[in-house]
Amino acid sequence: MSTTRPSHDLSTRSVTLHGHRVTYREAGPADGQRVVLLHGMVGSSRSWMPILPQLTEHHRVLAPDLLGHGQSAKPRGDYSPGAFASGVRDLMVAVGWERASIVGHSLGGGVAMQFAYQFPHMSERLVLVGSGGLGRGVGAILKACSLPGAELVLPLVMNRRLVSLGAKLHRLVHRLPVPLPAAFDEVSPSYASLTETEARLAFVHTIRSCIDVFGQRIDASDRLYLTSRMPTLIMWGTDDPIIPVRHGKRAHELATNSQLELFEGAGHWPHYDDPEQFLDRLLAFLDHTQPSHGGAFDFRSQILEQTATAS
C-alpha cells in the first residue's frame, strides 16, 4: 500500500487485494466522519470530483475505482453487485475503516444497497443517487449491451479510430455556442476507455450481471424494509434518461426511514448538474442524522418479523 498522503490530496493511490490492483482516493481529516463514494457503470472515483474537494474539508472520504473500472485491475471474474460489495468491504479493511456512510450512484447505488444488506455492522447511512437495482427500467443502450454477441460488436463501435474522431468532435462541440450537459466531460472519456479489451469485457460482464434485454434483472425493492433502522437518502434527477425517477419515488415509499431529494431538470448525474445543491443536501443528511449502530442481529429480527407477518 502507498504511504499516507496529506488529507487534502485527491490523487489516486492503490493497494493489492487478492492479487488484483485496486485504485482509490482517500482524503479528508483523519478524525472526520467516514464516507464511501461508489461510482456508476464505466465510471471511476473521478466521477465524484465535482463534490470531492468540498466534501473532504470535514469528512474522511474513500472513493474506489471498482474492479473492472478506472485504473483498477480488470480481471476475468465476478462483476455482480454482491462481489463488488465484498470488494468494498475488503478495501475498507485494508485502509483501516470499520464503518462508514455508503453513497452510491447508478451501479454504485445497487452496490451500496448490497453492501448494507451484507455488512450492516459496517454501514452507518445509505445514500442512493439515481440508483440501479430498484426496478426494471433502464436506458435502451444498456439493454443492447447485454445482448449475446455484444462483446463482438463493441470492438467495431469502440475502435481507436472512431474514438479519436469522437475526441475531435468533443473539442469541436466545446467551441459551439450551445449549452452542454454538465456530465459531458465525464461521460465521453469514460466510454472511450472501452477501446481497451479488458475494460470492454469487464463492462459487458458487469452489464450482464444486472441487466438483460428486458431491463434490470435485480430489484432490491422487496428488501428496503431492512433499512427501517438505517438513515437513507434518495437523490434523483427528475429528467434522468437512464434510470427513471419513478424508481426513486417508489423506493422512498418503501424505505420508511428515508428522505427523498429531487433535482428539477437534472439528468442521471445530479452531482454534475447541480453540485452545490447536491453537496448541501448530502452534507445536511450526513451531519443531521444519527448513524445506524445495527448489525446482523437487527437484520435477523427484521427478517423474522417480516416472515411472521407474511405467514
> Is 80 annotated as catalytic?
no
pLDDT value of residue 307:
72
The answer to whether the CB of 112 falls within 8 A of the CB of 120 is no
Is 201 a member of any domain?
Answer: no
Is 269 a member of any domain?
Answer: yes
> Is 20 annotated as catalytic?
no
Would you say residue 185 has pLDDT above 60?
A: no
Question: Hey, CA dihedral for 65, 255, 252, 245, is it positive or negative?
Answer: positive
Instruction: Identify residue 156 by its one-letter amino acid code.
Output: L
Is 149 a member of any domain?
Answer: no
Is 227 a member of any domain?
Answer: yes
Would you say residue 299 has pLDDT above 80?
A: no
How many structural domains comprise the chain?
Answer: 1
Is 2 a member of any domain?
Answer: no
pLDDT value of residue 189:
58
pLDDT value of residue 184:
53
Residue with cell 469485457: 201
When comparing pLDDT for 93 and 186, which is higher?
Answer: 93
Tell me what percent of the residues of the chain surpass a pLDDT of 70.
79
Read off the CATH number of the domain in which 287 is found.
3.40.50.1820
By CB atoms closer than 10 A (0-12, 13-18, 19+), residue 276 is exposed
pLDDT value of residue 119:
94
Cell of residue 111, nine digits: 452496490
> Is 58 annotated as catalytic?
no
Instruction: Identify residue 8 by its one-letter amino acid code.
Output: H
Task: State which residues form the domain around 69.
Answer: 13-140+219-310
- Among 144-153, 162-171, 225-234, 257-266, top mean pLDDT goes to 257-266
Is 240 a member of any domain?
Answer: yes
When comparing pLDDT for 36 and 146, which is higher?
Answer: 36
Is 81 a member of any domain?
Answer: yes
Is 195 a member of any domain?
Answer: no
Would you say residue 79 has pLDDT above 50?
A: yes
3-state secondary structure the chain: CCCCCCCCCCCCEEEEECCEEEEEEEECCCCCEEEEEECCCCCCHHHHCCCHHHHCCCEEEEEECCCCCCCCCCCCCCCCHHHHHHHHHHHHHHHCCCCEEEEEECHHHHHHHHHHHHCHHHEEEEEEECCCCECCCCCHHHHHHCCCCHHHHHHHHCCHHHHHHHHHHHHHHHHCCCCCCCCHHHHHHHHHHHHCHHHHHHHHHHHHHHEECCEECCEHHHHHHHHHHCCEEEEEECCCCCCCHHHHHHHHHHCCCEEEEEECCCCCCHHHHCHHHHHHHHHHHHHHCCCCCCCHHHHHHHHHHHHHHHC
pLDDT digits (tens, 9 = 90+) for 271-298: 999 999 999 999 999 999 999 886 655 6
When comparing pLDDT for 266 and 157, which is higher?
Answer: 266
pTM (2 d.p.): 0.85
Average pLDDT of the chain? 84
Would you say residue 180 has pLDDT above 50?
A: no
Q: Which conformational region is residue 34 in: left (phi greater than 0), alpha (psi within -120 to 50 degrees), or beta?
A: beta
Of 293, 277, 273, give the one whose Cα is nearest residue 285.
Answer: 277
The answer to whether the CB of 273 falls within 8 A of the CB of 184 is no
| Centroid of chain to Cα 143 | 19
Q: Among residues 80, 268, 271, 292, which one is catalytic?
A: 268
Q: Among residues 45, 47, 80, 106, which one is catalytic?
A: 106
Instruction: Identify residue 149 by its one-letter amino acid code.
Output: G
Q: Among residues 240, 252, 258, 274, which one is catalytic?
A: 240
Would you say residue 2 has pLDDT above 80?
A: no
